[in-house]
Structure 1
């Protein structure tokens, strides 16, 4: 991992273009390792995720993503978030009521 992304991405005060490109590289390498293709939809989801500086549910991220590309389905967002977590670009947070 390079110097830019040594800290978790969500700990950064803002996201630069360089950091987005680096995150795309990390995701693309992970996709290749697990035998999946990189797609424009996955890149759109990643960029939207990185540009949003708050914790999001899958539903909330899906709403934001469909503003950019209405053809991206909920399942694609869900699976891409799992991929982002697998390669260290995202982390799951369990929220409990109460």
Structure 2
């Protein structure tokens, strides 16, 4: 008897702002920009690619291509998409235990 499997789709589990934020943070910590673009694409898919493209004032087809993992979106495109998700970029020191100078 064979086993039936289905392709796992991260976008099916990204159902809250907190889950989306943690997913993107974990992906960002991996340091792989292609993986990050795929993760952002998964979030856009979960939220609705058309809606995200409209909110970010971007062409939907170009957004699909940019977030495919093979695309190379400009930084401003990434920022627009994150804003369309209701997120913002922030910075922190790499080692939070360092004393402030």
TM-score scaled by length of structure 1 = 0.41
Considering Cα pairs closer than 8 Å and 6+ residues apart, tell me whether 1 or 2 has the greater RCO.
1
TM-score scaled by length of structure 2 = 0.40
